[in-house]
Structure 1
Amino acid sequence: MTPTRFDLNAPEVIADPYPHYAWLREHAPVYHDRDLGLWVLSRHDDVATALRDSDRFSSDTGGPWSDLSANPFNPSMKVAAPVARAARRLPAPRVLLTSDPPDHTMLRRKVSRAFTPRRIASWEPRIRQITERLLSQMTARGGRVDLVRDLASPLPTTVIAEMMGVPPERQDRFRRWSDKAIDGLLTNGSLRSTLHGTAAMSAYFAAAVRKRRRNPRDDLISLLVTDGDEAPLSAGELVTFCILLLVAGNETTTNLISNTMLALMDNPRAMEMLQADPGLAGAAVEETLRYDGPGQGLLRLTKADVTFGDVTIPAGHRVLPLIASANRDPRRHPDPDAFRLDRGRTDHLAFGTGIHFCIGHALARLESTVAIESLARLGLTPRPAGTPERINSPVLRGLRTLPLTLT
């Protein structure tokens, strides 16, 4: 059915957004959702412009609309006006994801030491070890398994927790906290759940930061605590950084692994190619990033009037560049709705572009590739064993469950 308007939070859009993105690209490439107070960009070149032009498109989404009652990804989340006003008066720590230069430059330099190519590559043996253990447990169960529960979720959770020096007995609890913290990005998600997960992680990381300041270790938290050449981060900024790394390290990679497996099962020829050559796992992950990536869009705020074609977006307005739509734009990617392992291109926008290009992209790619490759080398064919449960979010694209049989 051809859409006539775009509703970001509609169930049919969350279930399969790509026909709706195609309608946007052709009929309303600069779409104004007056109900949400949001401008939506859908064509590749426009999306890339908004992500790269940090002078006109701010990532610092502060201001009068930043209160807890103005969430375009969960319009049902309502907060009493006095509470929203009180929240706006609280001191806001600098956050890598929602900052502009010069703060962003300093914060990125601070954390980039932990994500150098050499440091990430050094984790590959451990990632393979964790993956083999999880796959051994999966095959030992026999019959029906759940890819999310048994592999896609515990793998990145274990890796990022070990990188941050979180003890093994805390890792399941951290995954539950992380799931709660993103509830605010889910349509009809719970504010109480979001606050509970965030508060629990904040308390843990506040204690961990104090310990690392007294006794640094060889882990990610200690690296953040160490001043280096930059001004030291405040306790609140350190805690916020830790939460961001944990949640992003969990959510993105979990969804990338599950989306890749779902795309392979929906495209039997690609699955056959992978089973014949498990070395194609990297190509499968890369194509999934373009075809059905874990992130659908990123919020920006215009700092000046910006014109696309014959439409002008005024200064001070929220903009949602739809990176997943850009990745299906036939102006950029021929035959965009086909899942092809021979595409051989990495010029998608799944990890963003410009100064906010995802700092953890190499880790997400490595973990996902190892997971898909290791599963292919088992010589077992994954087959659907039930209906997957999708994350109910317009911006987080992934699965909560993916029941399979391995035959």
Structure 2
Amino acid sequence: MTTLDLNDPDFVADPYPVYAWLRDVEPVHYSAANDLWLVSRYDDVLAVLRDAPGFSSDLGKAGLDDNPFNPAIRIPRRLARLLDRLPPVRTLLTSDPPHHTQLRRKVAKAFTPRRIAALEPRIREITERLVDDLDDDLVRDVASPLPTIVIAELMGIPADRRDDFKRWSDELVNGLLTGGSRIRMARSALAVSWFFARTVRSRRHRPGGDVISLLVTRDQDGDALTLAELVNFCILLLVAGNETTTNLVSNAMLALFDRPDLWRRLGTDPDLAPAVVEETLRYDGPAQGLLRVTTAEVRIGDVTVPEGARVLPLTGSANRDPRHWADPDAFRLDRPAGDHIAFGSGIHYCIGTALARLETRIVLETLARRHPHLGPAGVPERIQSPVLRGLRTLPVTIRPTVPGTGGLPGRAAQIGGRNSSVR
């Protein structure tokens, strides 16, 4: 392999053979096409993620003139220089300590284990209703609307704005990461920012029990998030919450469709659902990499990476590294729980993990119980992104068992993984 372009359609369709080559041949690889240093082995990826001082999350330090995941997004240099002069807007994903520490402390109160666990009855109610209306596309009918509804309710957003929520989220993600329309992305960015700015102002005057009301209240030390910080966190919660859960559900169902024995076992033993969620996160996680910027020249393995370089630790590759995992390309339920790094590691470990796990587990339990003969009905449409791993569509059919087929329609392997073994 002489060149590697992360935006190549073949790589997006199946990155795992490329990951294997990287781990064996060039575990720290410079991609000139994307101007990125790719880190692929488990130990190296983990070290990068946990070294916040050496690998900054402040992506402004890498320059603003291009987007490595959507080459169509290029900010004119004059505009980039103007943005450099403006006061920085802190976000949870793109800040370093001490700012990150302050932000995370304030928003963590909205995602305590007790608060998330209390959502289970309502999430089950929403899921049952969506499964009632399941027609012929699992993403469109269940996996996509569920997190939108849950997040909207968490934020205290009226039900009649849910379609706006989903459209804004999709257009922001498409514009930033999948080669979508820059015009639509810009329009949605303005619309969602204005919407949340008005909502934040309203909650400051009339707080309630929703997440935004929790965020606008002052801490005991008297500190409060600025309007810009609040708006940015609301956008992050909308986008990340929607995309992560939708992709996790679709990836889990692909794995299950390719393993009919496991699907049948899940229908009779719903206690398997948490293990299926965890193995999906390792085997085919919804996020494949997390961008960082070096703050000084650094040595990774045998390679010297310069200061100011953009580094992409490939969590999707790390989670299939045979140096850490036995039989890494097999889908197995007997692995140590939580040993994967699908949600990152260190200070930037995803704050919404409990919610994503809960929503996905409930969907799997509900579908396995109510539709034991659910199966694939066509070729799904994959998200065209090197860092987001999931589906835009997943055609399905609800039909009885065909004698002799073992309970599911054939051809599941067309959309599942390469290795269909399970233990």
| Partner of residue 405 from structure 1, selected from 370, 383, 397 | 397
Contact 1:77–1:189 under 8 Å retained in 2? no
1:4 to partner: Cα distance? 4.6
Spell out, residue by residue over 1:206-246, the C-alpha distance to the aligned partner (whole angstroms, 9 max, x if none): 00011001111100001110011352111111111110111
Q: Corresponding residue for 1:66?
A: 63
Q: Corresponding residue for 2:125?
A: 129
Q: Are 1:276 and 2:268 counterparts?
A: yes
What CA distance in whole angstroms lies between the structure 1 residues aligned with 2:156 and 2:253?
Answer: 30
1:189 to partner: Cα distance? 2.4
Q: Are 1:246 and 2:243 counterparts?
A: no
Contact 1:96–1:107 under 8 Å retained in 2? yes
What CA distance in whole angstroms lies between the structure 1 residues aligned with 2:96 and 2:90?
Answer: 10
What CA distance in whole angstroms lies between the structure 1 residues aligned with 2:74 and 2:60?
Answer: 18
1:5 to partner: Cα distance? 3.6
Q: Corresponding residue for 1:386?
A: 378
What CA distance in whole angstroms lies between the structure 2 residues aligned with 1:345 and 1:212?
Answer: 39
Matches for 1:4-403 after TM superposition, within 5 Å: 4-63=2-61, 65-67=62-64, 69-138=65-134, 141=135, 145-230=136-221, 231-403=223-395
1:173 to partner: Cα distance? 1.1
SS at match of 1:293: coil
What CA distance in whole angstroms lies between the structure 2 residues aligned with 1:91 and 1:197?
Answer: 23
Spell out, residue by residue over 1:260-283, the C-alpha distance to the aligned partner (whole angstroms, 9 max, x if none): 001111222322322232221111
1:291 to partner: Cα distance? 0.3
Structure 1 stretches lacking a partner, 5+ long: none
What CA distance in whole angstroms lies between the structure 1 residues aligned with 2:220 and 2:175?
Answer: 36
What CA distance in whole angstroms lies between the structure 2 residues aligned with 1:324 and 1:283?
Answer: 18
Greater shift, 28-37 or 125-134, is seen at 28-37
Instruction: Tell me which amino acid in the other structure corresponds to 2:130.
Output: L
Instruction: Tell me which amino acid in the other structure corresponds to 1:81.
Output: R
1:344 to partner: Cα distance? 4.2
Contact 1:183–1:193 under 8 Å retained in 2? no
Contact 1:283–1:344 under 8 Å retained in 2? no
What CA distance in whole angstroms lies between the structure 1 residues aligned with 2:238 and 2:378?
Answer: 30
SS at match of 2:30: strand
Spell out, residue by residue over 1:155-210, the C-alpha distance to the aligned partner (whole angstroms, 9 max, x if none): 11101110000111101110000001112333432222221111111010000011
Instruction: Tell me which amino acid in the other structure corresponds to 2:193.
Output: S
Spell out, residue by residue over 1:294-323, the C-alpha distance to the aligned partner (whole angstroms, 9 max, x if none): 000001111122112221111111100000
SS at match of 2:366: helix
- Provide the identity percentage: 61
Structure 2 stretches lacking a partner, 5+ long: 400-423
Instruction: Tell me which amino acid in the other structure corresponds to 1:349.
Output: I
Contact 1:6–1:24 under 8 Å retained in 2? no
Greater shift, 83-92 or 168-177, is seen at 83-92
CA gap of 1:114–1:187, structure 2 versus 1, over 3 A, is closer
What CA distance in whole angstroms lies between the structure 1 residues aligned with 2:259 and 2:3?
Answer: 30
SS at match of 1:62: helix
CA gap of 1:81–1:4, structure 2 versus 1, over 3 A, is closer
SS at match of 2:343: coil
1:387 to partner: Cα distance? 1.0
What CA distance in whole angstroms lies between the structure 2 residues aligned with 1:394 and 1:151?
Answer: 24
Spell out, residue by residue over 1:359-381, the C-alpha distance to the aligned partner (whole angstroms, 9 max, x if none): 10000000000001111011432
Contact 1:258–1:398 under 8 Å retained in 2? yes
What CA distance in whole angstroms lies between the structure 2 residues aligned with 1:92 and 1:148?
Answer: 37
Contact 2:29–2:38 under 8 Å retained in 1? yes
What CA distance in whole angstroms lies between the structure 2 residues aligned with 1:38 and 1:17?
Answer: 16
What CA distance in whole angstroms lies between the structure 2 residues aligned with 1:203 and 1:47?
Answer: 37
Provide the TM-score with structure 1 as the length reference. 0.95
Greater shift, 346-355 or 76-85, is seen at 76-85
What CA distance in whole angstroms lies between the structure 1 residues aligned with 2:309 and 2:167?
Answer: 34
Provide the TM-score with structure 2 as the length reference. 0.91
What CA distance in whole angstroms lies between the structure 1 residues aligned with 2:152 and 2:178?
Answer: 28
Greater shift, 244-253 or 77-86, is seen at 77-86
What CA distance in whole angstroms lies between the structure 2 residues aligned with 1:322 and 1:185?
Answer: 18
Contact 2:11–2:386 under 8 Å retained in 1? yes
Instruction: Tell me which amino acid in the other structure corresponds to 2:143.
Output: A
SS at match of 2:213: helix
